[in-house]
Amino acid sequence: MGFRLANTDGRAALVFGDNYYDLEKLSGGKIGSDPMEALAEVDTLGDLSAGLAEQTPTGRLEDVRLGSPSPRPRNCYGIGLNYRNHAEEGGMPIPDAPLVFTKFPSCIVGPDDDVEMRSDYVDYEGELVAVIGRGGKDIAVGDGWKHVAGLCVGQDISDRPAQFAAAPPQFNLGKSFDTYGPMGPILVSPDELPEGGAMELVTKVNDEVRQKDSTGDLIFDVPTLVSYLSHITTLNPGDVIFTGTPGGVGVFGGKLLKDGDVITTSIEGLGTVTNRCVRVADHPRADVVPLPIKNAMAGKSPG
Ligand code: ZN
């Protein structure tokens, strides 16, 4: 049995329709209130979900503040250039192995939280996000989905000057500013979704559609990423994988984020993440715009 897991005001809850059911109460105290604890109990989450229709809901989702379904992962990975059209718009070759970087777990925020931008060259990247349930090491590709607790929507917000401040570029810091990892709104287990995980992803800035693609177009799909990473690092319950963004990011169209912009990212079957952009203090390299960014904004190859 599948499940839908939410972080309601910091407490783990199962979701049925528009209602949520507090997991600690529902489980009779067997599972604590911490969403990280719930992610290590995927079998129990499935069992409890089977009986939700007969339970009294704790409340309605619209009345609570949702946090990230995995608020404090031990590790958070990002994948670069994982859609053909995004590699092509950047003038980059199609990678023959996953291009992996880290997003520090401290960048993760809830699905409706503000993004605090520290330069005028901050970009959106709408992404499918996978969260690990059963941990493991040396996982075969064919077993990859068994280790995924669920999928949700994420924004891999990217400060382009920090990303390209040095040569060769180093992605980790530029994608790890505080608030640069909104994710949610709820975590949906794979068996509740289309087989293979092909769903439409749409990113809008204000009312303008900037990205529209199918998550079925991932070059390295979710089970492949799970397997690849697990042969290098042990995967832990709650670990997060931002699987990469399709074409249409701001830097190549000269449309970077501005103070007050609202980014809306939706994936069919998973819901919508809505983030308002707030321009705060500059970071130390905010006014140093590297040549690849200037080229990209002028419509030239970033290299
Ligand atoms: Zn990304």
What CATH number should be reported for the domain holding residue 153?
3.90.850.10
Instruction: Give how far Cα 154 sits from Cα of 69, 119, 271, Å.
Output: 11, 21, 10
Residues 51 and 137 both lie in one domain: no
**Single-letter code of the amino acid located at 228:** Y
Q: How confident is the model at residue 303 (pLDDT cuts 50, 70, 90)?
A: very low
pLDDT higher than 90, residue 292:
no
User: Where is the domain boundary, 25, 43, 64?
Assistant: 64
Look at residue 302 in the predicted model and tell me its pLDDT.
53
Domain count, the chain: 2
Residues 146 and 201 both lie in one domain: yes
Q: How many CB atoms lie within 10 A of CB 222?
A: 22
Residues 183 and 236 both lie in one domain: yes
CA distance 278 to 258: 8
pLDDT higher than 50, residue 210:
yes
Asked which of 188-197, 200-209, 228-237 is least confident by mean pLDDT, the reply is: 188-197
CA of 50 to the centre of ligand 1 (A): 35
User: Where is the domain boundary, 13, 34, 64?
Assistant: 64
Q: Which among 50, 52, 53, 64 is positioned nearest to 7, based on CA atoms?
A: 64
> How much of the chain, in percent, has pLDDT values that exceed 90?
87
CA of 158 to the centre of ligand 1 (A): 8
Residues with CB under 5 A from ligand 1 (ion): 125, 156, 245
Residues 292 and 227 both lie in one domain: yes
Residues 137 and 37 both lie in one domain: no
CA of 279 to the centre of ligand 1 (A): 21
Average pLDDT, the chain: 95
CA of 298 to the centre of ligand 1 (A): 21
Asked which of 134-148, 164-178, 203-217 is least confident by mean pLDDT, the reply is: 164-178
Instruction: Measure the CA angle with vertex 255, ends 253 and 257; round to 5°.
Output: 150
CA of 11 to the centre of ligand 1 (A): 28
Look at residue 90 in the predicted model and tell me its pLDDT.
86
Burial-class residue 24 by CB neighbours within 10 Å (0-12, 13-18, 19+).
Answer: middle
Q: Which two tokens stand for residue 169?
A: 């570029």
CA of 177 to the centre of ligand 1 (A): 14
* φ and ψ of 150, to 5 deg: 180, 180
CA of 170 to the centre of ligand 1 (A): 13
Residues 45 and 164 both lie in one domain: no
CA of 46 to the centre of ligand 1 (A): 30
CA of 215 to the centre of ligand 1 (A): 13
CA distance 117 to 283: 9
Q: Which two tokens stand for residue 19?
A: 């209602």
Q: Which two tokens stand for residue 297?
A: 């904004």
The answer to whether position 302 is within a domain reads: no
CA of 194 to the centre of ligand 1 (A): 23
Q: Which two tokens stand for residue 218?
A: 């991932």
CA of 182 to the centre of ligand 1 (A): 12
Q: Give 108's strand partners.
A: 181
CA distance 80 to 121: 18
Q: How many CB atoms lie within 10 A of CB 276?
A: 13
Residues 35 and 163 both lie in one domain: no
Residues 37 and 168 both lie in one domain: no
pLDDT, tens digit, 9 for 90 and up, residues 29-49 = 999 999 999 999 999 999 999
CA of 164 to the centre of ligand 1 (A): 14
- pTM exceeding the 0.95 threshold for the entire prediction: yes
The answer to whether position 210 is within a domain reads: yes
CA of 80 to the centre of ligand 1 (A): 6
Residues 145 and 223 both lie in one domain: yes
**What's the residue count for the chain?**
303
CA of 212 to the centre of ligand 1 (A): 15
Residues 38 and 171 both lie in one domain: no
Residues 141 and 253 both lie in one domain: yes
The answer to whether position 69 is within a domain reads: no
Residues 257 and 127 both lie in one domain: yes
Please state whether 245 falls in left (phi above 0), alpha (psi between -120 and 50) or beta.
beta
Q: Which two tokens stand for residue 200?
A: 């439409």
Range of the domain at 255: 76-297
CA of 26 to the centre of ligand 1 (A): 36
